[in-house]
Homo-oligomer: A and B are copies of this chain.
Amino acid sequence: MTESLSPLTQVPGFRAVGVTCGLKQSGKPDLALVLADRPCAAAALFTTNVFKAAPVLYDMSLMKKSGGKIQAVVINAGNANAVTGEQGLAAAADMARLTESACSLPPDTVFVMSTGVIGQPMPMEKIRRGIYAAGIAIKTEAGQQGHYAAQAIMTTDLVPKEAYVQVSIGDQPVSLGGMAKGSGMIHPDLATMLAVLVTDAVIEPAVLHEALKQAVAVTFNRITVDGDTSTNDTVLLLASGTAELPTIGPDSAEYKTFVQALTELCTDLARAIARDGEGATKLVEITICGAATEAEAESAAKTVATSPLMKTALFGNDPNWGRALAAIGRSGVRVNPERVSLRLGDFQLVKDGEPLNFEAEAVSYWLARSDEIKLMADLGVGPATATVWSCDLSYKYVEINAEYHT
């Protein structure tokens, strides 16, 4: 493992590359290819949006057909291939066929992801050239280093998102690496959330799927930039099985260790997405405790996290806690108004339902110089807790989503 490897290619047995095929007007890399040395156990989670993009529909069918064995992933940015009708479904399948051919893989081993504008036909000639170039590049040193893959999947993201975690399972090192993207494009549209995670752990697809569900529930499913769920959201986890350890069985101590490491990896990437939300100046971490159930804690936290009034107040460095309580109050969860408490960072603002006197200027000063804000509220009802990550709402968000046209 050397410094020049990306988090994805630090995991033994994986190569990754990003190339330019002309989907982004900027000329930056816009097509990524991830290739494993051998067929991997795969687990994938998809958007719950009714309008699932063509690649999502393709992958859902692929996961059934392939028995959860995948060897490569092709991802383009610049066109979401969503609400594109029959022609879109054909384009997604073509992307898989072209990649199988470029990497000399058998049929039904390639997973497809797209992000970008909705309702536009896929420019297949550009895609074809891109996949061909990626298939050549991935066999070179560039493919071993993998630096451009995370950049190729960016849209209006300002920074690439990559993470790496190593754990010991049965005294053997197991590696987990991943890349993800958040919101934005040059012609911005839906903030597609895509993540590709890889590991050398030895694990069956069904167990891998369970592990991924557990980790995603408390990480990627707990971030929000603007409350809109994309038509393309996809999280894929590939396990190559090259680590020298026995298969990780369900409910074993090794499984718990693996899920913990996977959750750490997903948390890193999820926080990076929230921090780089469209127009964000701050990462906002909202923890709700004292809730009746974890689901209610999550629901209350998400209501605060998506409240435009709360988000604009944080952008304005305004400790306007009334907006947080009002959001909690409309979230539909059980709250005891007489026992509710609220903290912003180290400042306690409300205790047992009564507003406390506090130095508003001191809190405002702290908000202004922090790029990471913790808001904690106790609902005074039960023992459950949940944390959600979000960002503030700035002029830049409006600019990104209003000024550049489809």
Interface set of A (CB-CB < 8 Å, partner B): 48-51, 80, 82-85, 117-119, 189-191, 226-231, 306-309, 312-313, 315-316, 318-323, 325-330, 335, 337, 350, 353-355, 360, 364, 393-395, 397-399, 401-406
Contacts and interface: CB of A to CB of B under 8 A. Distances in A.
A310 to B, nearest CB: 8
Contacts of A397: 308, 312, 398
Contacts of A227: 306-308
Contacts of A231: 322, 325-326, 329
**A interface majority secondary structure:** loop
A330 B406 contact: no
A337 B85 CA distance: 10
B354 A85 contact: yes
B322 A83 contact: yes
Nearest to A309: B228
Contacts of A404: 316
Given A230-B326, A316-B405, A395-B395, 13 more contacts: A51-B326, A84-B355, A118-B323, A118-B325, A119-B355, A226-B307, A231-B329, A312-B397, A315-B398, A316-B403, A318-B402, A394-B398, A398-B398
Given A227-B308, A313-B401, A360-B406, A119 B83 contact: no
Given A85-B353, A398-B398, A322 B228 contact: no
Nearest to A396: B398
Given A330-B229, A364-B405, A323 B190 contact: yes
A189 to B, nearest CB: 6
A335 B50 contact: yes
